[in-house]
Amino acid sequence: MIADIMDRSVQRQSPEDEGYMVKISQRWLKVGALTLMLGASGQAFSAAKVSEGDPWEGFNRATYRFNDTVDAWVLKPVAQGYDTVTPEPIQDVVSNFFRNLSEFRNIANSLLQFRLKEAGESAGRLVVNSTVGMLGMLDVASGMGLDYHYQDFGLTLAQWNVPSGPYVVVPLLGPRTVRSAAGIYPDMQASPITHIHDSRDQLITQTSDLVSLRASLLKQELLIVGDEYTFVRDAYLQRRDFLITGELPEDDF
């Protein structure tokens, strides 16, 4: 199973580089302005919940099987090898490094949602972990009370009251809704990895990020019960709904 892994996209361009920040700001302002005009419908701050419908189930199941086959033959074996040979403390360092890069996406989307406190905390985490935490390899900020606030452009669209659309399984990228799939490109533009000029370095960094994330999901696979497609779909939709509303799903039992 290739889960929701590719949200994040190496000579690395420094995040502090003025040209880089101007480029990111311009792209995000354009995306934000366009989406506000097309999708807000006069209720920009009333979040649109996730639709639980699956009208494309036939297509989705076929795509899920394709993704699962690719994962079983390529990504999962590599992740298992990485997990076997890499000590857990080193895995944590790698995971922390890439998580720190995701703060750019968190900051941008928090600002677009006018969540200024969360944007400030995410910016604080980025500064602290990039300096004291040695380029993000250590999560010093959490110990200082600066919490991690996950955000993406799909969640921003939800806060702008853009309907979620049906559930869809994207080839190689895994479970999405139409709304969250629309956020893939803007979120990639918020990642420093996307703006690495050397294609070889960029590929190495993206692959390292992907393998690290896939290795972190190995133990979670043991939690899957019953029909795998249904389990993954329901878990994804419930998680997205929680990220939007902050409300836990009702217990079915």
Residue-wise DSSP of 179-240:
HHHHTHHHHHHTSGGGG-S-HHHHHHHHHHHHHHHHHHTTGGGGG--S-HHHHHHHHHHHHH
**Quick one: pLDDT at residue 43?**
39
Task: Say what the pLDDT of residue 49 is.
Answer: 79
Distance of CA 175 to the CA centre of its chain: 12
Please indicate, yes or no, if residue 252 is contained in any of the structural domains. Answer: no
More confident residue, 33 or 237: 237
E strand or H helix at 170: strand 167-170
Closest listed residue to residue 45, CA positions, set 238, 242, 244, 249: 244
- Residue 177 has phi, psi (to 5 degrees) of -105, 170
Q: Judge whether residue 200 has pLDDT over 80.
A: yes
- The pLDDT value recorded for residue 252 is 52
Per-residue pLDDT, 34: 46
Domain assignment present for residue 103? The answer is yes
Average of per-residue pLDDT across 117-139: 97
Which helix or strand (DSSP H or E) is residue 105 part of? Answer: helix 103-112
* Residue 161 clears pLDDT 70, i.e. is over it: yes
Residue 218 near residue 79, CB atoms below 8 Å: yes
Asked, for residue 119, whether it belongs to a domain, the answer is yes
Q: Which of 8-22, 80-94, 190-204, 231-245 has the lowest mean pLDDT?
A: 8-22
Which residues partner with 168 through β-bridges?
176
* pLDDT tens sequence across 204-251: 999 999 999 999 999 988 889 899 999 999 999 999 999 999 877 665
Task: Please state, rounded to an integer, the average pLDDT across all residues of the chain.
Answer: 85
**What distance, in Å, lies between the first and last C-alpha atoms of the chain?**
27
Residue 196's pLDDT band (cuts 50, 70, 90) = very high
Coil, helix or strand for 167?
strand
Whether the CB-CB separation of 244 and 49 falls below 8 Å is answered with yes
What's the confidence (pLDDT) of residue 170?
97
Q: Is 87 a domain residue?
A: yes
Domain tally for the chain?
Answer: 1
Domain assignment of residue 30, yes or no:
yes
- pTM to 2 decimal places: 0.80
Quote the domain boundaries for residue 119: 18-245
| CB neighbours of residue 77 within 10 Å | 11
Give residue 50's pLDDT band: very low, low, confident or very high (50, 70, 90): confident
